[in-house]
Amino acid sequence: MVRKARNNASGSEHDLQLTALRGMPKNITTYAATKAGLASLAEGLRVELVRARSPIRVSTLYPGYIRTEINEKVRNAPFIVDAATGCKAMVRAIESGKAECFVPSWPWRPIGFLMRRLPVAVLARMF
C-alpha cells in the first residue's frame, strides 16, 4: 500500500462503522466489538502512515442508517437516508480528508458525540 502510494503520489484507505463508538447490548455486542477493532486498526494505520511520511490518508467513517438491501426490512431506523444520499455523504466525507467523519453529518455527529460520553446507566436504559 505504501509502495503503491509513493509511486502514485496519493492514495487513501477507508474504514466504515458507527457502532464502534461504544459497547452495545444483546445481539449487537459482537458486531460492535468487531467494528471498534476496525476503528482501532484504522487509527493505528493512520499513525504508521504519518510516521512513514506517506501520502496515504486513512478516513474512518461512522455511517448512520443508510437504506440498503441488508436492512430493507428494518422498521425502526431513525434518521435513515436512501443509498444515494448515504453514498454521496460518504464521498464528501472521504474527500474532506478528515480522519473521522459521521455520515451523514446531521444528525449522526451530535449522536456520536453523545454516544461517546453518556454514562453506561443511561445507555442501559436506552437499549
Along the chain (127 residues), what's the average pLDDT of each consecutive run of 10 residues?
51 53 78 88 94 93 90 86 95 93 93 90 83
User: Active-site residues: which are they?
Assistant: 31
Strand ranges across the sheet with 56-63: 11-16, 56-63, 100-103
Q: What is the pLDDT of residue 12?
A: 46
One-letter amino acid of 69: E
Cell numbers given for 4? 503503491
Q: Tell me the C-alpha distance between 118 and 41, whole Å.
A: 24
CA atoms within 13 A on the CB side of 33: 6
Question: 109 exposed, middle or buried (CB, 10 Å; 0-12, 13-18, 19+)?
Answer: middle
pTM to 2 decimals? 0.77
Which secondary structure element, helix H or strand E, spans residue 13, and what is its range? strand 11-16
